[in-house]
Amino acid sequence: MQTPSPHRRVLDLLKLERDEVWVAITYAAAVSLLSIATPLGVQFLVNTVAFGALLQPLVVLTLLVLVGLVFAGTLRALHAWAVERLQQRIFARASISLAERLPRVDVAALDGRHGPEIVNRFFDVVTIQKGAASLLVDGVALFLQMLVGLLLLAFYHPFLLAFDLILIASLAVIVIVLGRGATRTTMLESKKKYALAAWLQEILREPHAFKALSGRELARVRAETLTREYLEARRAHFRVVFRQVVGALALQAVASAALLGVGGWLVITRQLTLGQLVAAELVVSAVVAGMSKMGKLFEAYYDVVAAADKVGQIMDLETEPPATVEAPASQPGASVRATGVDVASTSGALRGVDVDLPRGARVVVQRRNGTGAALLADVLAGVRLPERGLLDVDGVDVRDVDRRAWRARAALVRGHELFAGTVADNVLFGAPVATRHDARRALEHVGAWEHVSQLEGGLDARVGTAGAGLAPDLALRLLLARVLLAEPRLLVLDGALDDVDDHTRTDVLRMLDARARACTVVVITSNPSLMAWGEHAYAVDGERFEKIAVPVKPEGSVGGGRAWLR
């Protein structure tokens, strides 16, 4: 799919809010039409005074101008209200759209990229809000004011019509010719800004590494380099904007002087009345005064263009294709058959996966080196699709099945995949009908309730991102409590048992034994001592996948029995 241009993104954004945009433009147009009340009133006032008319017409004229200006002020207030409503809609639409879209993003689209850093571009929605408000308030008002004013001048005299055309041509030169390169430079500036932000985020993501003397020096040097690159990009962009600002100011000076000279000559030759000259000067003064704001408007537009492109980069992340077949009906355990499956990412690959797992099987995969084991976990859990080969779950090709429905029945436990929220939020996640009582029972079953009850707030205790502040064994137990409530048919533990103590590991294996035949379990580990737990054993070495013999279980080891835990 072709990526839209930055300007096209802005237009697409405005199309989504076309109703609010048209309301704002309508109010601005009405205000601009009423803005000619002052110059027309001055024109009639000068003519009235010059010819020595009575006081009554003067009073009537003044009252009419007052009514027009009050009405214009009311419309300006409504215009501001409409623009504020538009800003709120832009923010709400962007946030809700991303919240709905991000869970559907294909994991392959994030290969080699840091997801949280990409989402930082959401904050450019605020830039779009402010820029759109500035353009709709000042930009539209300036454009319509210039249009109405120049049309008024054109009716005064043919020379003033020619003056209008020259002024419009000059504005086109300022916008198009002097603004050449503005989009490219503003995009580069935005790119450098996010590169610097990503580096600062990286420093806090690995705080211990950067506390060393060499780490502090690297943090400073890299930040200085990225800051210098940003400033160079900023200066390049400002040169374009400054060029346009100088052009607008020069046009302002020349236009004012030219109109004064041409208008004075027309009055002397009696081709223009004195009132018309004064009105024309007021119109042009308002027009050229607006030109002094063009630099601000140019900057606002370029910021909106860059911001729309950055937010669009999140929206452009490829999503998972729609399903053609419903997920297999819920049954105890899941049968998995892979034939010649290849899967790859930017960090590695796995080739030639051949497995045939019956329902309720217990499988151990030894990770020897490389990232192939993680890719295997992704494929089994429905996170990633195979590039080649056939992978059937309960006799249905995973390429055709509803991946979201399948993931609701397949659980992947990897690392500390807890999100910022409460203990209850994390445990009940994925089990919408479960209650807090169910959460407590699940925590008791995995041996975590005693720890949770001692936390401030119990089930309402706060959990940090990725389980920050929790011991690794407690974080794993919370994840397993979540799994119990979700009742998956396939459970994949990718390295989850490698970084916990022996007591926790033994508890988890006993819990998995207790769910014998109710769930197909795949344990991926670097710990050779766990290989004897499974009924089937495989090994991943780089890109190679092979079946290996199951080691003999030591006497009295965990996994020798099938007794259900009560």
327 in any annotated domain: no
**Beta strand extents in 113-236 (DSSP E only):** none
What are the tens digits of pLDDT across the range 377-408?
Answer: 888 888 888 888 888 888 787 777 777 777 77
282 and 352, same structural domain?
Answer: no
pLDDT, average across residues 184-188: 91
Tell me: pLDDT of 412 over 70: yes
Tell me: pLDDT of 307 over 70: yes
Distance separating alpha carbons of residues 519 and 511, to the nearest angstrom: 12
101 and 196, same structural domain?
Answer: yes
544 and 408, same structural domain?
Answer: yes
480 in any annotated domain: yes
268 and 363, same structural domain?
Answer: no
Model confidence at 561, pLDDT cuts 50, 70, 90, reads: very low
265 and 349, same structural domain?
Answer: no
240 and 204, same structural domain?
Answer: yes
486 and 362, same structural domain?
Answer: yes
340 in any annotated domain: yes
- Residue 385 tokens read as 């699709």
276 in any annotated domain: yes
343 and 310, same structural domain?
Answer: no
234 in any annotated domain: yes
383 and 243, same structural domain?
Answer: no
CB 374 within 8 A of CB 350: no
Most confident of 236-245, 261-270, 327-336, 411-420: 236-245
306 in any annotated domain: yes
Close Cβ partners of 268 (under 8 Å, ≥ 6 residues apart): none
Helix (H) or strand (E) holding 129: helix 124-134
3-state secondary structure of 183: helix
3-state secondary structure of 398: coil
- Residue 281 tokens read as 């000067």
Model confidence at 49, pLDDT cuts 50, 70, 90, reads: low
297 and 218, same structural domain?
Answer: yes
Range of the domain at 527: 336-548
CATH number reported for the structural domain that contains residue 385 in this entry: 3.40.50.300
CATH number reported for the structural domain that contains residue 167 in this entry: 1.20.1560.10
330 in any annotated domain: no
- Residue 193 tokens read as 């800004």
Helix (H) or strand (E) holding 524: strand 520-525
3-state secondary structure of 411: strand
- Is this model's pTM higher than 0.75 or not? no
274 and 376, same structural domain?
Answer: no
CB atoms within 10 A of CB 444: 14
160 and 48, same structural domain?
Answer: yes
CB atoms within 10 A of CB 110: 15
553 in any annotated domain: no
Tell me: pLDDT of 421 over 80: yes
pLDDT, average across residues 161-182: 87
Number of folded domains in the chain? 2
